[in-house]
Amino acid sequence: MAGGWAMVPILICSALALAIVLERCWTLRRKAVLPPGLIDEVREWARSGQLQQSHLDALTNGSPLGELLASALAVRNQPRELIKERIEDTGRHVVHRMERYLNTLGTIALIGPLLGLFGTVIGLIRMFMEVMAGGIGDPAKMAGGIGEALICTASGLTVAIPAYVLHRYFRSRVAGYCVAMEKQATALLDDLTLRPTATPARAPRRVPAPNAPAAG
């Protein structure tokens, strides 16, 4: 607490940022968002028509990708535009949940240096007020006061820089997941709507019978 009472909000922000980073690292694991082999299994269900409500419930509760695919399967017998619209609506909700707490992390990265600067300014004001009241006195004590004031700035930057870097990292990871999920959802949409049509068999060509020889 050498930086004074202004260190309290900085320490709170650091603890909150650490909790968000740990939670997002666990939630945004690749195998938790994009389970390997899930799209192949779902496409096989769609082709074979072996779909039950239990399958859709398991997909919805299993992963963000599963929830997106389940939304398409729930309206699989509808026109392509309606299925696509359902996928887009569900995708917005899925992305919103994947970006949970990232705005808070970005806010911490923004206000960290400001809190440090605020603590430094308050400390310098207090020190100069003491100088005005009692004179310069001991220069070493004055230098120590300046050092204590600058502790707030250093602490704020120490919290803000990692928070900003991790905020950008999680944003880019979510963006990459969105592209991958869009690709897999499009593949399922094609399976549901672009069914191959059977080519009608061509009738055999009739060969005219040869003329019968005239009777002699």
Which run of H or E residues covers position 81? helix 80-98
Residue 15 pLDDT exceeds 90: yes
What pLDDT, on the 0 to 100 scale, is given for residue 119? 82
For residue 125, give the amino acid letter: I
Residue 211 pLDDT exceeds 80: no
Asked if 120 and 152 touch (Cβ cutoff 8 Å), the reply is yes
For the chain, the domain total comes to: 1
Asked if 99 and 167 touch (Cβ cutoff 8 Å), the reply is no
pTM: 0.78
Residue 161 pLDDT exceeds 90: yes
> Is residue 205 one of the residues assigned to a domain?
no
Nearest-angstrom CA–CA distance, 121 and 124? 5
Q: Give the pLDDT band of residue 55 (cuts 50, 70, 90).
A: confident
What pLDDT, on the 0 to 100 scale, is given for residue 18? 96
Mean pLDDT of 148-177: 91
* Percent of the chain whose pLDDT exceeds 70: 79
Q: Give the pLDDT band of residue 190 (cuts 50, 70, 90).
A: confident
> Is residue 210 one of the residues assigned to a domain?
no
Closest CA to 182 of 75, 95, 56, 77: 95
> Is residue 215 one of the residues assigned to a domain?
no
Nearest-angstrom CA–CA distance, 61 and 70? 10
> Is residue 211 one of the residues assigned to a domain?
no
> Is residue 203 one of the residues assigned to a domain?
no
Residue 142 pLDDT exceeds 80: no
Higher per-residue confidence, 55 vs 138: 55
Residue 188 pLDDT exceeds 60: yes
Nearest-angstrom CA–CA distance, 205 and 134? 117
Our measurement of the distance from residue 200's CA atom to the centroid of its chain's CA atoms, rounded to an integer in Å, reads: 48
Give the largest CA-CA distance in the chain. 150
Angle (nearest 5°) at CA 168 between 26 and 162: 80
> Is residue 90 one of the residues assigned to a domain?
yes
What pLDDT, on the 0 to 100 scale, is given for residue 207? 46
Residue 216 pLDDT exceeds 80: no
Q: Within a 10 A sphere around the Cβ of 209, how many other Cβ atoms?
A: 6
Which residues fall within 8 angstroms of residue 84, CB to CB, at 6 or more apart? 189
Residue 89 pLDDT exceeds 90: yes
What range does the domain containing 172 cover? 7-193
Cα torsion 32, 36, 39, 41 to 10°: value is -110
What DSSP designation does 78 have?
S
As to burial, measured by CB atoms within 10 angstroms (0-12 exposed, 13-18 middle, 19+ buried), residue 122 is: middle
> Is residue 55 one of the residues assigned to a domain?
yes
What pLDDT, on the 0 to 100 scale, is given for residue 144? 60
Asked if 182 and 36 touch (Cβ cutoff 8 Å), the reply is no
Residue 126 pLDDT exceeds 80: no
Q: Within a 10 A sphere around the Cβ of 155, how many other Cβ atoms?
A: 23
Tokens of 197: 């049509």
> Is residue 179 one of the residues assigned to a domain?
yes
